[in-house]
Structure 1
């Protein structure tokens, strides 16, 4: 915990209470990350009301780039399966999955990211020491080993109902966009979608059974202009330009700086695609034919290479080796 983070806690509430909170965090291995700390999520810092500090437990907080996956606490079998598979596919493409560790779709989202060996962030509506719901105790510690648990609430704060709408702004604020998988008309996940729109982030929705009230909220989002999602590539196609602009944005958190490009750990498929590129831009359809690959699968590989800083996307879905001017 840095000096600025400690000072942020000590400035809130009475000094004696803040000192006790500070000691509790140290004993339990929790970190306090102030809004001006280098590891504070830079997208979250840009919303109108960012938390002055976050409590964090698990791996060092590094959510960039991230997508939120949210929905009902009482999903259908289809909704749970879709959320888990979609999250696994997005995590496999290098995105951090952010959700609220609630029952239902949130649980499916975190499990999907863990299934893929990817990163996930759980944003709690309680303090870090209060695991809610209690049946997600194992999931809590699984996330802490592979991702991060965060909260803006004091460490022993209970999961009061009024905490959750405020919590939702953190979920959407960390992310490039929010995907609503299954939601009724009054679902809390629609608050997250609304906040995402207010924060100028992308809003996505997964269609469901038109006769199911559990999908009525998601369908309303689609009517209002949310992007329809049937598979992970639908999300990737929308956010790819945002990922590229983020690399050039002040404060963007690059996972693979230029001096590490040559040491990038490529899979056999990534290496094959990379070696098919040259300094002159090639259209994705041309590359797909040359490599005998499905365009969606190729797009996923190209995105991973972009995230590694090895490939640049040009206008019109043209790609070339990064750093070459044409």
Structure 2
């Protein structure tokens, strides 16, 4: 199996907080040039700050930009099944590799409720559905037994695990071994190589926005059997993660680090991170120390 890396693409904003579609397309081009696939409207794409129409247009713009050169997965998960279903139908037929459906947030769900939620979406569209588990943010967790039930749905292609628990990833991988065609994507950036070694189909990375070539190197080296290069790149990626994420909320720090190199990405919608001189100084020092300062 050839593994791949999807970068959870940032959403760029203008000074008035409207979406900057052209700058977002430029970021998509940058990732394609590095050899990475994409995830649109993910956690690092500020999806919770986007409205229904903006999500649809963002997905359309990115799909038009990449023109089939890479695989694109779009997160369409909303708190309610009703709106998630609307989004799923609106982007069905765009040629996406898959739609990621994050677990409902704010609404506490039973495991049966999660089965109904995901099955309803998968029943309604032809685009393959990927379950998206990030319990620290949504407070809802897809239990491995629930994943086992959902994996047998003919239009559910896999799961994106963003929980950070190696035990849970291993349990999802056990499901993948039982159900042919069910893929597991590992998300935490410190587990990229570990996930590939365990049998994950690929990774989804937010930090890849800042260091796209480093992420691509981990995956390409693994695919060619050059584990020494893969381990070296993973170590550098993990150190970058520790240094950057200790400054605050990871998606906000990814966006700000990217802004240091390319101001066209803009700020995030409020009440997200605002510029801070001391923090910016620390981010710049990290980028320079890791050879990631551009311009």
**TM-score, normalised to structure 2's length?**
0.31
Q: Which structure dedicates a bigger proportion of its chain to helix?
A: 2
**TM-score, normalised to structure 1's length?**
0.29
> Could you say which structure has the larger radius of gyration?
1
Higher RCO (CA < 8 A, seq sep 6+): 2
